[in-house]
């Protein structure tokens, strides 16, 4: 649990959606191929997706699943993460994605459906929404920080958790995740 909190705190500092800052002249951070962690149960929840189906990681047992936290009006990181995860799903057609909204006001079902269509996600890419209370409960379970930013943006923790078919968290990826990172890690874990 302590490792997770440290990783989440680091990720929040490194990548917050909509929190554009002045460019600094430090070297780029090393690429994140994923941090394998000691398996622990992924927290369970049930929220409605873009098709009004109840979705949660516990329902995806038997499949590799990525849980991530996004919002559809994000000007920077969330669309990139979405594109990379959708590309990973095109390579591994059994991979599931559950994107949890961090913007209960702006992530309406119609906005979510439009966002997913624009980013060419498939049917196994589920984007769950809910009331502020419902979503805040899931954010707490996953140690996600989310605060309103300027001009309708949301600053939030940006990471992806790969959950194994037994429902255990296995790998953390940061906001720089690529489809190759995910598919390579899946091959490594299958070996």
Phi/psi for 99 (5° steps) reads -95, 125
Model pLDDT, residue 94: 94
For 65-93, the pLDDT digits (tens) are 999 999 999 998 999 999 999 999 999 99
The mean pLDDT of the chain is 86
- Fold (CATH) for 2-12+37-190: Glutaredoxin (3.40.30)
**pLDDT at residue 30, rounded to an integer:** 41
Report phi then psi at 15, rounded to 5.
Answer: -145, 105
What pLDDT digit, counting tens, does each position of 152-181 carry? 888 898 899 999 999 999 999 999 999 999
Asked if 98 and 128 touch (Cβ cutoff 8 Å), the reply is yes
pLDDT of 21 reads: 34
Domain spans, the chain: 2-12+37-190
């Amino acid at each position: 649990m302590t490792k997770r909190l440290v990783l989440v705190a680091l990720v929040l500092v490194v990548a917050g959606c909509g929190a554009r800052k002045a460019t600094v002249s430090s070297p780029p951070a090393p690429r994140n191929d994923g941090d394998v962690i000691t398996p622990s149960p992924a927290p369970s929840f049930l929220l409605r997706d873009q098709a009004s189906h109840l979705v949660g990681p516990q329902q995806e047992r038997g499949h590799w699943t990525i849980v991530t936290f996004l919002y559809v009006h994000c000007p920077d990181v969330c669309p990139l993460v979405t594109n990379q995860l959708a590309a990973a799903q095109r390579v591994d057609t059994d991979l599931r994605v559950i994107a949890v909204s961090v913007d209960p006001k702006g992530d309406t079902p119609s906005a979510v459906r439009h966002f997913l269509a624009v980013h060419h996600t498939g049917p196994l890419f589920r984007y769950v929404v809910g009331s502020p209370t419902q979503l805040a409960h899931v954010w707490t379970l996953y140690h996600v920080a989310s605060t309103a930013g300027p001009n309708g943006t949301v600053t939030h923790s940006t990471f992806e958790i790969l959950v194994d078919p037994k429902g255990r968290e296995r790998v953390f990826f940061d906001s720089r995740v690529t489809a190759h990172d995910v598919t390579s890690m899946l091959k490594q874990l299958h070996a």
